[in-house]
Chain A
Amino acid sequence: MIRGTLYRRMPWSIPLLISALLVIGLLFVRSASYRPATGSVTADPYKQAIWITLGAALFVACLLVKTQRFADWIGWLYGAGLLAIMACYLFPAVKGAQRWIALDGLAKIQPSEFMKVILALALARFLTHRPDLHRVRPVAGALLMAAVPTVLVFRQPDLGTATLFIPMVMVMLWVAGARTRLLGGLIVLGVLAAVGFYFSPLIKPHQKARIDAFVNPSPASEQREGYQLAESKIAIGSGGLSGKGLGEGSQNFMGQVPFDNSDFIFAVIGEEWGFVGAVGTLGLLLALIVRALGVAAASRDPFGRLVVVGLMTPIAMQTVVNSAMTVGLVPITGMTLPLISYGGSSMIATLAALGIVCNIAVHRPIVLATESYPVHLPPTDSP
């Protein structure tokens, strides 16, 4: 491909929005990593800068590689992803969960984050050019592809990440052309299954307690399970219109907000930058999501379109769920705020995903069809 074409077709607003969000993220990871006991900042913001650098490299790689390659490699990638998730069970539990592959002294890799990207590619490959999507079989096949990592990740346990795979496959099936009624039925079944799960012995006590605390909060549960939410709300609420200023949030610097540089970083933004900063940050994220989905809508390539939709679904969902949980609209789940929360695997995987989105935007449609299937090349694409 000619360099000029890349330059011309590149959706520049995407890297621009990413950069803005990364800057905000770094500022707040730094602010939230201040430890009053020692009067110093932990190493987290510096590590985050390294992850961003690695992520940026992967972004560029994903942008430049031939789109066809993703489709070629996806079988291997899918298998490797599942193996990596299973490999986590070989490592000792951290805070009761086996989510990580620990490279001693270097880093911990969370394969489930990368699985989000892999599954989007795999499902896109599976669902592209399928005229039989109104039948049950391909739908069941796609669901099975998502169910395997869902179950594996759920057992780690990592409820937050596990709940992302199913919405991804549903959205991709829908955009690929599956019947709304069929998917609606599946959602109803899913809700029933979730209710069943709540009453089944499979649910972990802390998960049940969190849901109870959300549905029916009491002073007691506020102390126990709801204290994170209570502190988060105090942080956000006390931020007011314009916030207390970066680094000036008392809830933040006193360590009152739990997981303040990862799951609850949005609470810190709300406290220190107020309503304006919080809504502004959500606005930037929304702009990024809309622009990326715009790439999907504009793409004439069914594979690329599905890939973008698949990649953006977890990003959109994390944005909504993470911000909604800090204000008490949904129960607390371990989901990060894309591009802002501290976390290496999450950061690198998200940047890779956005690299692929840009790749779809700048590259020609690829040939994925069987011989009997006609290939429609967009007329504008031929010079």
Chain B
Amino acid sequence: MAEKRITVLILGIAGALLLVAGALARLQLLDGEQYRVKAEQRRNRTVLVPPERGRIFDRRGVLLADNAVRFDLHIIPAAAREIAGGLPALFSYITTKTGADRVELESRYQKIEERVESNVQREIRWLERRGRLASAGSTARNRQEADARRAVESRSYWLVRALEPAAREPLHRAERTGLVIVPRSERIYPQGNLAVHLLGHLRELNSDEYAARQIGGDYRTAWARRIDPDRIDRLARHAAIRTTRYGAAGIEKQYDFLLRGRFGLTIRQATPTGRALADRIDPEAGLDLTLTLDVALQQAAEEALAGKVGALVAIDPRTGELLAMATAPTYDPTDPATREQPNAPLMNRCIAGLYSSGSTMKPFDAVAGLEELPGFAHQSYHCNGQIRLGNTTMRCLGSHGSITLGDALKRSCNVFFYRTGIALGVRPSRLTQWFRRFGVGSLTGVDLPGEKRGALPEPTGQGAAANLAIGQTLTVTPLRMATAFSAFANGGQLVTPHLLKGEAIPGRPIGIAPEHLKLVRAGLRRVVNESGGTAYRAFQRTPLPRGIKAAGKTGSAQHSGPGKTHAWFIGFAPFDRPTICVAVIVEQGGGGGSVAAPIAAAIMARYFEDR
């Protein structure tokens, strides 16, 4: 009986092993290919290679934004703790080699430890979200936590930024465990804080911003033939691509898609003796951009505004190329304290500062009157210093007597334009129709993020129409005014202001009869060039080179806040073939002729100095 039972036993064992052999056959022979692919994927390690970000130049090739390689000292906490003497010994070592402050080192390391802790928690939460977290207290959970901690602590964290070359060499030779020197490309702005509002800055994007820019989608098309789409998405979401600093403001943001370039990658395959290169895609450097900006003019503009609150826009009226865009006060991106100063230093007032235009609106009233009212060119109104509308009295700056268009512009007579505004009617107001043609109340379309639209209210009665005619109740940005004024300089075209140098964007004709345009321009010339013109003195004091005549209009805009009026001047030169149009506003500066016009005159003088 025993022999029989032993035979049955043997058959049972053989049968069980036959089952295992069957399973082996299925895994290795039938599904072998599928598992082979999986194993191949596992042996590959992908490393992303960052691209060089595009540089930014001004119109003459002066470098505005560049990249520099910095060498940071990184620490790997897991390895650093292992060395003899522990962290104190390591810190002493770093202090002697780099001259870094011991206290700073320790506080930085404190931050690293906090970061490690939060990263561990994040890994755990990630597992939890995926439903992969084992129950608390179990061995599997302990293992998961230990694994997460080990992984997080094995990464490197910066300890000292931008090592001096002198310190780098001895550290490099020593090659201490747990310390690594990591090169990093840093964005630098060789002109310092010049045009800081325009150029913008870089920072890490949050996930919403990152998704909105479709940076990941970019890679889908670029890498489609080389790597499978799911993997690209994973790379784009998690890896270095995600944590790179992208343009967060100004040109850096506007043209980020051109500047950022595209990461490359290397795929290294594990072999028993190490890793070998299996595949690579070279990074694509970002495009270098040339701006229309003129560094010398920008410099002059920023200096002219220093200590004031205001903005200046200089534009080429023929093309819409922006030559200078200054806003004050400004700030130092490397010094957070400067951001906290009063008067909103972070705001780019050129595109986001909304002001009443004041009297600078009067040339546009003139265009509307000439186009809409028969005989307006010879129309005279009597100014006795005020007009009465019902119970309210609306005042003028002086008592101009009987006055026609040319003098009204030159002297900035309110009564003349009150009357014009009233004559152009309400519901519909032909005045607002013409303002709208010049773009008031809409965006200029400048290639900068954060432009504000401004408001153009429809007048509901004669009083409102009169107020609108002298540029109250509506709001505009300095850039809008510079663009609108350019139409007087370029023969009646509404141009699109822009900073990226490239093919000219054609202007849109506003539809002003040439003879009407001529009349308005003549008035604007008298503002600057005739004794008694509101900007005459300013341009006398800062004369333009011989033979160059300017034209323009002053404004002193009332506002709801305390202090003096906002001082405006917008003008262009040379009169016959204008190549520059400048808009200046000084908040609470007082009179446009005495405060804003001299700044514009200085900028124009500076501009023509070089030509």
Contact = CB atoms under 8 A, between A and B. Distances in A.
B173 interface: no
Interface stretch (A7-15, A17-25, A251-259, A356-364): A251-259
Interface string B411-430: 00000000000000000000
Given A220-B132, A270-B28, A293-B6, A248 B272 contact: yes
A67 B34 CA distance: 53
B21 A282 contact: yes
A234 B140 contact: no
Interface in A214-264: 220, 223-225, 233-241, 247-248, 250-251, 253-254, 256
B278 to A, nearest CB: 12
A376 interface: no
B132 A275 contact: no
A323 B9 CA distance: 18
B272 A253 contact: yes
Nearest to B270: A254
Residue in A224, A270, A319, A328 with the greatest tally of chain B CB atoms within 10 Å: A224
Contacts of A253: 270, 272
Contacts of B131: 220
A74 interface: no
Nearest to A325: B20
Contacts of B13: 286, 289-290, 316, 319-320
A221 B160 CA distance: 42
A327 B140 contact: no
A327 B24 CA distance: 7
B36 A238 contact: yes
A296 interface: yes
Interface in B22-66: 23-25, 27-29, 31-36, 38-40, 42-43
A320 B6 contact: no
Interface in B256-273: 270, 272-273
A203 B6 CA distance: 34
Contacts of A285: 17
Contacts of B19: 324, 329
A312 B506 CA distance: 94
Interface residues of B, number: 46
Contacts of A209: 134, 138, 140
A239 B25 CA distance: 11
B36 A240 contact: yes
Contacts of B29: 240-241, 275
Interface stretch (A100-108, A109-117, A171-179, A189-197): A171-179
Interface in A60-95: none
B426 to A, nearest CB: 70
Per DSSP, chain B at the interface is helix
A296 B6 contact: yes
A254 B42 CA distance: 9
Contact of B20 (A36, A248, A323): A323
A237 B32 contact: yes
Given A39-B274, A254-B42, A324-B16, A177 B1 contact: yes
Contact of A206 (B33, B40, B140): B140
Q: With a 10 A CB-CB cut-off, give which of B27, B29, B43 has the most chain A CB atoms.
A: B27
Nearest to A180: B5
A343 interface: no
A297 interface: yes
A205 B42 contact: no
A174 B131 CA distance: 47
A305 interface: yes
A102 B303 CA distance: 80
Nearest to A254: B270
A383 interface: no
Given A175-B2, A205-B135, A251-B39, A237 B20 contact: no
Given A251-B42, A316-B13, A236 B20 contact: no
Contacts of A39: 273-274
Given A171-B9, A223-B132, A270 B24 contact: yes
A282 B17 contact: yes
A335 interface: no
A309 interface: yes
A50 interface: no
Contact of B138 (A206, A293, A296, A327): A206
22 contacts: A175-B2, A175-B9, A177-B2, A220-B130, A235-B39, A236-B27, A236-B35, A238-B32, A238-B38, A238-B39, A250-B270, A251-B42, A254-B270, A270-B27, A275-B24, A297-B2, A297-B6, A305-B6, A316-B13, A323-B20, A324-B16, A329-B20
Given A224-B134, A238-B36, A282-B17, 7 more contacts: A36-B270, A39-B273, A175-B9, A224-B132, A236-B27, A237-B36, A305-B2
- List the 4 closest pairs (A to B, CB-CB), nearest first: A237-B35, A238-B39, A327-B23, A205-B138
Interface of A: 34, 36, 39, 96, 171, 174-177, 204-206, 209, 220, 223-225, 233-241, 247-248, 250-251, 253-254, 256, 270-271, 274-275, 278-279, 282, 285-286, 289-290, 293, 296-297, 302, 305, 309, 316, 319-320, 323-324, 327-329
Interface of B: 1-3, 5-7, 9-10, 13-14, 16-17, 19-21, 23-25, 27-29, 31-36, 38-40, 42-43, 130-132, 134-135, 137-140, 144, 270, 272-274
